Amino acid sequence: MTEPNIVLEAKGITKQFPGVLANDNVNFDLRKGEIHALLGENGAGKSTLMNLLYGLHNPDKGEIKVNGKIATILSPNDSIALGIGMVHQHFMLIPVFTVAENVMLGDETVKNGSLDRATVAAKINEISKQYGLDVDPNAPGSPASRHSTAR
Ligand SMILES: Nc1ncnc2c1ncn2[C@@H]1O[C@H](COP(=O)(O)OP(=O)(O)OP(=O)(O)O)[C@@H](O)[C@H]1O
Ligand SMILES: [Mg+2]
């Protein structure tokens, strides 16, 4: 039986990409309140393991349990519903979307049948202020498209 304070348990996780065995029978337990650092050389399979836990990839073998129950994580929607979040190593923004549109992607706030950008922008402003960040909710998602829209 799973120890009650283990909130996330990955057992025997295996992921094969063409020509590369990225994760080979990986076991990982996370107890409530723990912070882990995953170390390994480039290409060791760190991001692959996190992407599997976040539902961006599906394992070829293995089992993931959340709070002691077997979790079926087929997409980020499933992992988010289970309380798993992800800060990506590489930018995963849609460059032509604004900051606010990127933030609400997948969890759209809708008012009167259209995207409620104003509510999301206000929330972003509030959080930015709280953490001393300079974020413009209406700026384009990437510096490259910022240049192209400025022209
Ligand atoms: N979508 C993919 N398709 C094919 N091969 C992939 C894919 N993603 C990762 N790989 C391969 O799987 C292996 C593990 O890659 P991964 O990105 O998990 O490593 P990493 O430990 O995160 O490396 P880094 O320190 O460079 O971030 C590498 O050989 C990589 O080329
Ligand atoms: Mg990586």
DSSP assignment of 22-74:
EEEEEEEEEETT--------TTSSHHHHHHHHTTSS--SEEEEEETTEE----
pLDDT greater than 90 at residue 111: no
The per-residue pLDDT for range 6-47, each reduced to its tens digit, is 999 999 999 999 999 999 999 999 999 999 999 999 999 999
What is the position in ligand 1's atom list of the atom closest to the CA of 44?
21
Q: What does the pLDDT read at residue 4?
A: 77
Q: Which two tokens stand for residue 30?
A: 């996370």
**Ligand 1 environment, Cβ below 6 A:** 17, 20, 22, 40, 42-48, 89
Q: Where in the chain is the domain with CATH 3.40.50.300?
A: 6-81
| Per-residue confidence band for 148, with pLDDT thresholds at 50, 70 and 90 | very low
- pTM (global) more than 0.85: no
What is the position in ligand 1's atom list of the atom closest to the CA of 50?
18
The per-residue pLDDT for range 73-109, each reduced to its tens digit, is 999 999 999 999 999 888 888 999 999 999 998 878 8
pLDDT greater than 70 at residue 145: no
- List the beta bridge partners of residue 31: 6
CATH 3.60.15.10 is right for the domain spanning 6-81: no
